[in-house]
Amino acid sequence: MLKRVFVSIALLSLAHAPGQSVAPESTPGVGPEKPEFFNRVIANQKKGEAALDLYERIERVETRKNPNDPAPLAIKIMRVIPSGTGMFRIALGPDGKPRDPAVYRADLENLARTLTLLVNEEGSQRDVLEKYAKKKRERNELINATHNAFLFTFVATEPRGDRTLSKFKMEPNPGFKPTTRFTSLFPKVRGFVWIEQTSGELARIEGEVTEDISVGLFLGKIYKGSHFMQERYEFLPGLWLASFSQYDFDGRKLFSGFSIHERTFYSNYRYIGPPKEAVVAIRQELEHAELDKPRADPADQ
Per the domain annotation, does 71 fall within a domain?
A: yes
Q: What is the DSSP string of 123-137?
A: GGGHHHHHHHHHHHH
For range 73-86, the mean pLDDT: 94
133 or 3: which leads in pLDDT: 133
Collect all residues with Cβ–Cβ distance below 8 Å to 110 and sequence separation of at least 6.
none
For range 168-193, the mean pLDDT: 86
Rounded to the nearest 10°, the torsion over CA 61, 63, 69, 73 is -110
State residue 232's pLDDT score.
95
Strand ranges, E, within 35-73? 55-63
Contact 2, 228 (CB under 8 A): no
Per the domain annotation, does 89 fall within a domain?
A: yes
For range 44-67, the mean pLDDT: 90
Per the domain annotation, does 300 fall within a domain?
A: no
* Element holding 175 (H helix, E strand): none
Domain that holds residue 62: 2-293
For range 251-274, the mean pLDDT: 90
pLDDT in tens, 282-299: 999 998 765 445 455 444
pLDDT at 13 over 50: no
pLDDT at 92 over 80: yes
For range 194-209, the mean pLDDT: 91
Instruction: Kindly indicate the confidence band of residue 144, based on its pLDDT and cuts at 50, 70 and 90.
Output: low
Per the domain annotation, does 298 fall within a domain?
A: no
Instruction: Give the integer Cα–Cα distance in Å for 37 and 76.
Output: 38
Per the domain annotation, does 250 fall within a domain?
A: yes
Amino acid letter at 18? Answer: P
| 108: nearest Cα among 284, 293, 298, 296 | 284
Per the domain annotation, does 301 fall within a domain?
A: no
pTM of the model: 0.82
Number of domains in the chain: 1
pLDDT at 129 over 80: no
- pLDDT averaged over the chain? 81
